[in-house]
Structure 1
Amino acid sequence: MHKKILLIITFLSALFISGNLYAQTAPPAAPYTATPDSFVPDISYPFLQKLIDTAKKYYPEVRLRQKQVNIANTSYHQAQLSWFDIITPSYLYNPSQSTNLITPIAANSYQLAVTVNLGSLISKPFIIHNAKQAVDVALYQQQEYMLTLEATVKKLYFTYLGLQADLRLRSKAEQDAGVNVNLMKYKFTKGEAILKDYNDAMMIQYTQVSYRIQGELAVFNAKVNLEEIVGKKLEDIK
């Protein structure tokens, strides 16, 4: 029994040591290298930052979040000033025939009386605390939305560039299909190709034209989506 346990421990130790040795000797991952058809070289991080700053300035939801913060601040200040609401002043009239055996009061005079609402006095600190918490909540929601907005702008920008790269590939495929059609037409007139080969080349060209149009539509839609959240046309952002 002890021999079996010893063998198991030895086997697990060997696996652990071999794993560490592999981790130490394994070559580091090769850095990403953009291919000629990649959209990565098109990325401009300064321009992307301008897009983010513009979105934070012009997108209506940003102004809405700021309004919510302002309203919460106003409510908090109102709650702080509402301490005076718990005090109710009143005046007591003392006619000449009335007498006060405890505290003499001048005849035909008025006396100021102050009434304090005990329930409001106890609840007022909690009301102010909740108003301050509402300010914090509005600020946290504003910060969360700013992070979400920034991530959304980045995603839409990268999507826009990716679709532009895809459109370039589709346009290149369309050009190649056009060259092939001209070649097959030349061969067909020379009797070096049959009609079917010529028709197949034309169908491929038609398909590539359709793909290119779909790519253009995707690029324009991506541009509209990006401009919608930025709040301005891309051409107007310098």
Structure 2
Amino acid sequence: MKNLLKITIAFLMLLSLDTYAQESIISSIKYADLEKYIALAKQNYPRRKAFDQGVQKAKAELPITKLSYLDIFNGSYFYRPEKKSVLDPINPYNVNGFQFGINVNLGTFLQKPFTAKKAKAELKIAEAQAEEYDLALVVEVKKRYYAYIQSINQLKIYTESVQDNKNTADNLKYRFAKGETTMDNYNQSRINFTNAQTSQIQAEVALLTAKDALEEMIGMKLADVK
């Protein structure tokens, strides 16, 4: 009898291990789909777009900085009609007609190299921040995808549990009606069935939540991803 009990326990342990292996989510992961989701998140997620705009803004500042070198020079002109007499006949540079001049702002001239370096540094910072966020984005998409796959598998387990507990409850109900089992066993089977149903509902909510979280990240419905 003891040997039979040991064999039965060993068989149940092997059966449990086999069931666990079948319920592993690793085989459910589709890496091709995951890569699609990562690409869509980089394309559609609003915060990712904000980092892209930051890089584009920093790039746009570079040509503006180069053109700002013209701010160093200030042009001016003076016009005196031909028929007017000159103010100072002795000064040969004080003549009638147009007179042009160019002024150089020395302070601005000295600042320009540093302004250009600052613009280049800000571009590098923006690019580094975008790259850093890309890494975080990939991790977050994977995290949400794995949670979604986990929820699918958990729902399968709880759905099977509901069916198993229902079968058990129906069987004990039949046996109780025939007087082959106790009221306690029958009531316990009903409690187990109710608990299994509750777990199934919670698993369904978890699946919907995980699905919404992933769709938020990729910017579209999973059903629309091709």
State the TM-score, normalizing by the size of structure 2: 0.84
Residue ranges of structure 2 left out of the alignment (5+ in a row):
1-19
User: Does 83-92 or 153-162 show the bigger shift?
Assistant: 83-92
Please report how far the alpha carbon of residue 100 of structure 1 lies from its aligned counterpart in structure 2 after TM superposition.
5.6
Map of 2:53 onto structure 1 = 67
RMSD over equivalenced CA pairs, Å: 1.7
Map of 1:174 onto structure 2 = 162
Rounded to whole Å, the distance in 2 between the matches of 1:182 and 1:100 is 123
Aligned counterpart for 1:197 among listed residues 171, 174, 185: 185
Rounded to whole Å, the distance in 1 between the matches of 2:218 and 2:78 is 65
Tell whether the 8 Å contact from 2:42 to 2:134 is kept in structure 1 after alignment: yes
Secondary structure of 1:193's counterpart equals coil
Map of 2:25 onto structure 1 = 39
Map of 2:37 onto structure 1 = 51
Show the 5 A alignment for 1:22-37: 35-37=21-23
Residue ranges of structure 1 left out of the alignment (5+ in a row):
1-33
Rounded to whole Å, the distance in 2 between the matches of 1:112 and 1:164 is 80
Please report how far the alpha carbon of residue 98 of structure 1 lies from its aligned counterpart in structure 2 after TM superposition.
2.6
Paired residue type of 1:205: F
Tell whether the 8 Å contact from 1:59 to 1:230 is kept in structure 2 after alignment: yes
State the TM-score, normalizing by the size of structure 1: 0.80
Aligned counterpart for 2:88 among listed residues 76, 83, 98: 98
Aligned counterpart for 1:78 among listed residues 61, 64, 77: 64
Residue 234 (structure 1) aligned with residue 226 (structure 2): no
Tell whether the 8 Å contact from 2:69 to 2:112 is kept in structure 1 after alignment: yes
Paired residue type of 1:76: L
* Aligned residue-pair number: 203
Please report how far the alpha carbon of residue 106 of structure 1 lies from its aligned counterpart in structure 2 after TM superposition.
7.7
Map of 2:198 onto structure 1 = 210
Tell whether the 8 Å contact from 1:184 to 1:193 is kept in structure 2 after alignment: yes
The percent identity for this pair of structures is: 33
Residue 152 (structure 1) aligned with residue 140 (structure 2): yes
Tell whether the 8 Å contact from 1:99 to 1:105 is kept in structure 2 after alignment: no
Map of 2:108 onto structure 1 = 120
Please report how far the alpha carbon of residue 73 of structure 1 lies from its aligned counterpart in structure 2 after TM superposition.
1.6
Rounded to whole Å, the distance in 1 between the matches of 2:124 and 2:90 is 54
Please report how far the alpha carbon of residue 93 of structure 1 lies from its aligned counterpart in structure 2 after TM superposition.
5.1
